[in-house]
């Protein structure tokens, strides 16, 4: 989409945040953005409309004030209502955990086998070590792996 046109026509001219909010509102009403779906991030709105971050933030705030969207800290803003299941792309740690889970289930990683260390996994998946730790925690929560201090993380029996 092209940036909203800036005008100086007085009271009839919509300010940029209202113009962006109107375009997002139209995307919600025509089904381009579905309930539970993430709105484009502030950065994406800045890039798409050629505006500053404050303008993008104000546009989202307008939609939030009217109840069209709600915001979850550290995730983003979702199309309302809150009761709609969230549709978001998986987090990197969920992608890593999913791949490791698949390797365990199809036998490429066997019961009792030690997982590669965090440094190796981080390099393999192109992510930070904290992301690998979060992925391993997801696997641990699912009881697919267990960790022995100073020995490593192993596929559960």
User: Residues 114-124: pLDDT tens digits?
Assistant: 999 999 999 99
Among candidate residues 97, 89, 145, the one with its CA nearest the CA of residue 125: 97
Q: Looking at the DSSP assignment, which residues form a beta bridge with residue 87?
A: 37
pTM summary value = 0.58
For all residues of the chain together, what is the average pLDDT? 91
Mean pLDDT of 92-120: 96
Give mean pLDDT, residues 66-93: 91
Which residue in this structure is represented by tokens 């109107």?
A: 22
Confidence of residue 89 (pLDDT cuts 50, 70, 90): confident
């Amino acid at each position: 989409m092209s940036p909203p046109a800036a005008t100086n026509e007085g009271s009839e001219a919509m300010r940029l945040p209202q113009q962006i909010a109107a375009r997002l509102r139209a995307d919600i009403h025509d089904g381009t953005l579905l309930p539970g779906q993430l709105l484009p991030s502030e950065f994406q709105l800045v890039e798409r409309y050629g505006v500053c971050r404050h303008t993008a933030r104000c546009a989202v705030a307008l939609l939030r004030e009217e109840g069209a969207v709600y915001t979850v800290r550290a995730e983003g803003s979702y199309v309302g209502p809150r009761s709609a299941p969230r549709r978001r792309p998986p987090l990197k740690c969920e992608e890593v955990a999913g791949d490791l889970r698949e390797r365990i289930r199809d036998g490429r990683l066997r019961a009792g086998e030690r997982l590669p260390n965090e440094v190796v996994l981080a390099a393999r998946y192109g992510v930070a070590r904290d992301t690998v730790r979060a992925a391993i925690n997801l696997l641990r929560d699912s009881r697919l792996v267990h960790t022995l201090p100073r020995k490593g993380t192993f596929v559960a029996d």
